[in-house]
Copies of this chain bind each other. A is one copy, B any other.
Amino acid sequence: MKAKLLSVLAEPNRLDIVELLRNGPQPVGEICNKLKLHQPQVSKHLNVLSKAGFVEVHPEAQQRIYNLRIEPFQEIDTWLNSYRKFWKDSFDRLDDYLIKLQEDEMKKKGKSHGKKK
């Protein structure tokens, strides 16, 4: 995972553009109108998004229709996966803690759900 990929989405207007494009492909003008941004800025942001692989463009007459590409999101998803193990461990530890409380308090019945340690 490169920080560069995240930095592209870390700019508020750029993130807005990406979120807008979730609804489907849009020409530049539409994006300007909906987000109340000036055209040159939108073009520049789209250029950055394009270089990072977040969007692709399809010319249509004088318009240029931009749409999202899934690959970078999948890359982020894959990266997040390496943290899911960490979450699970966290929950295991919480689980251990709750079970310990339970045992300390009443020492009567064993655990009812999975526990690793």
- A interface residues, Cβ below 8 angstroms from B: 1, 3-4, 6-7, 9-12, 14-15, 19, 22, 68, 70, 73-74, 76-77, 80, 82-83, 86-87, 90
Nearest residue (CB) in B for A6 is B10
B82 touches A22 (CB 8 A): yes
A10 touches B3 (CB 8 A): yes
B10 touches A83 (CB 8 A): no
For A80, list chain B residues within 8 Å (CB).
73, 76-77, 80
Q: A6-B7, A6-B10 are in contact. List 7 more A-B contacts (CB 8 A).
A: A1-B15, A6-B6, A6-B9, A7-B10, A22-B86, A70-B87, A73-B83
Nearest residue (CB) in B for A90 is B70
Give the Cβ gap from A14 to chain B, nearest Cβ, in Å. 8
